[in-house]
Amino acid sequence: MKIGMVGLGIMGKPMSKNLLKAGYDLVIYDINQEAVQEVAKLGALVGANSKDVAQKSDVIITMLPNSPHVKAAVLGENGVLEGMRPDAILVDMSSIAPLASIEICKSVESKGCFMLDAPVSGGEPKAIEGTLSIMVGGRPDIFEKVKDILSVMGKSVVLCGDIGAGNTTKLANQVIVALNIAALSEALLLGKKAGVDPNVIFEAIRSGLAGSTVMEAKTPLMIDGNFKPGFRIELHIKDLANALETGHEVGAHMPLTSQVMEMMQWLKSNGKGSEDHSAVVRYYEELANETVRSDNP
């Protein structure tokens, strides 16, 4: 089976490398030539554009930043849709608005082809290991056809419902992560201001009810003041914007998400948009005129 890959960024590049390692024939395209050359060296064929990639593939994967990029690469001139063969399958693994997935899927199906939305969680380290969590939306029979391919890139591959359900699940994930980071920031700063070292708080509570994967991953970064990404604040803003837009469309109210969105927007306005999302703690530090840096590192 021939696979096409459009989008070779932080995530798409290691995912492509894992597909090549697993023995799949891969055709690639990205507007960034440097990324294309890096993957081509490992044996991938280079497509002239997204249309050319689709013409040469049975399954086309897209891994792009947001809805407008996916619409441009799939529905635009020389895009995937122009090149898709009958019965070809588009698997969009980007994190985009669920309503955009539904809209793109309609165009794909009108050409006698199929589409799944399949965003991921886990970030660059898990993309490299091939242990991402993949949340899929679409027809069960189409899901079965590409499940083996997805299993090369992910440890957990779950069909969540119809088209768009993968991205709805991903938005739920992003809301939970954002709110956890804000809760952690608020609590650690409370401790510091009241005279208890944040490292001590972490050690004392990490195995209790408040403990979480977010706490394990982000507390050490906050205490060290290390905000190298990771997952950039501007990408998390994109996800929260999609979550709020979707919430408004379907009548789900999200007051906590709105608050954390404002914190992230404030950080972006202050030049921190490229930092890791754990930098939300900087917002609290600014308000309290204190940091969560440990007294006993």
Among 4, 7, 137, 198, binds ligand NAD (CB under 6 A): 7
For ligand NAD, give the closer residue by CB, 120 or 159. 120
Nearest to 218 by CA among 157, 278, 171, 166: 278
Asked if 60 contacts 89 with a C-beta cutoff of 8 angstroms, the reply is yes
145 is catalytic: no
Asked if 108 contacts 90 with a C-beta cutoff of 8 angstroms, the reply is yes
Tokens of 25: 């024939």
Tokens of 294: 């440990």
Rule CB under 6 A: say whether 47 interacts with ligand NAD. Answer: no
Among 75, 78, 123, 145, binds ligand NAD (CB under 6 A): 123
For ligand NAD, give the closer residue by CB, 94 or 199. 94
Asked if 50 contacts 79 with a C-beta cutoff of 8 angstroms, the reply is yes
Rule CB under 6 A: say whether 46 interacts with ligand NAD. Answer: no
Rule CB under 6 A: say whether 120 interacts with ligand NAD. Answer: yes
Nearest to 26 by CA among 83, 13, 34, 132: 13
The CA-CA-CA angle for residues 275, 278, 284, to 5°, reads 105
| Contacts for 195 with CB less than 8 Å, ≥ 6 apart | none
Torsion 118-121-123-125 (CA) sign:
negative
Rule CB under 6 A: say whether 124 interacts with ligand NAD. Answer: yes
Task: Determine which one of 17, 56, 170, 218 is catalytic.
Answer: 170
Rule CB under 6 A: say whether 11 interacts with ligand NAD. Answer: yes
For ligand NAD, give the closer residue by CB, 24 or 29. 29
- With CB atoms as reference, the residue minimizing the distance to ligand NAD is 9
Rule CB under 6 A: say whether 241 interacts with ligand NAD. Answer: no
Among 231, 254, 272, 282, binds ligand NAD (CB under 6 A): 231
For ligand NAD, give the closer residue by CB, 7 or 191. 7
For ligand NAD, give the closer residue by CB, 35 or 222. 35
Among 16, 18, 94, 242, binds ligand NAD (CB under 6 A): 94
The CB-of-28 to ligand NAD minimum distance in angstroms stands at: 10
Q: Where are the beta strands (DSSP E) in the chain?
A: 2-6, 25-29, 45-46, 59-62, 89-92, 114-117, 120-121, 132-137, 154-161
Contact footprint for ligand NAD (CB under 6 A)? 6-12, 29-32, 35, 50, 63-65, 69, 72-73, 94-95, 120-121, 123-124, 231, 235
List the catalytic residues.
170
